[in-house]
Amino acid sequence: MIFGRYSCKKRGFKNSFYVCLEHNQYLMRVFNIIFVVLFVIFAGLQYNDPDPYVWMPIYLYAATMCFYAARKQFYRKLYLLGIAVYLIYAGYLFVTKDGVIDWATQHHAENIAQKMSAEHAWIEETREFFGLVICIVVLGINYLYAGKQAKTAALGQ
């Protein structure tokens, strides 16, 4: 789990599984700053891609959501929107011809990171799928954290 096992009992927290709110905020801020930088780099690397008009917005949307989260501004509906769009596209890349299933079954899960040039369509499709998985996981973590923040705020802690 991203929050680890730290004890915040001295701050009045009885459950030591989660880091106290103060530590959570710091860890999530660092987490989101790292992913803002990574997603902007990912978007920049798409400049020479055959379809940058698809992938630049995908990564910049995730970077924007992480930027807002780093500033403690959480938009749960926008996280869900991004996750839904990314899941639909990831599902398409998973089952399409030359997609992830083809990579795993017909190409014996050949190394897709050995060379940066995508000589075969299934290499490109599989890399794109895993890029979407990264976006989905990051937005999902922020969505869950935003829910926890909302609950904590509602309880007045």
pTM: 0.77
Q: Both tokens of residue 84?
A: 């839904």
User: How many Å apart are CA 66 and CA 69, to the nearest integer?
Assistant: 5
- For the stretch 19-52, pLDDT in tens is 555 567 889 999 999 999 999 999 999 988 888 9
The winner for highest mean pLDDT among 72-76, 80-84, 153-157 is 80-84
- Give the helix ranges, DSSP H, for the chain: 21-45, 52-70, 76-95, 100-105, 121-155
| Calpha distance 107→86 (Å, rounded) | 25
Which of 127, 93, 135 minimizes the C-alpha distance to 110? 127
- Average pLDDT, rounded, for the chain: 80
Cα 114 from Cα 73, distance rounded (Å) = 39
Q: Are 19 and 3 in contact (CB under 8 A)?
A: yes
Q: What angle do CA 92, 95, 99 make, to 5 degrees?
A: 90
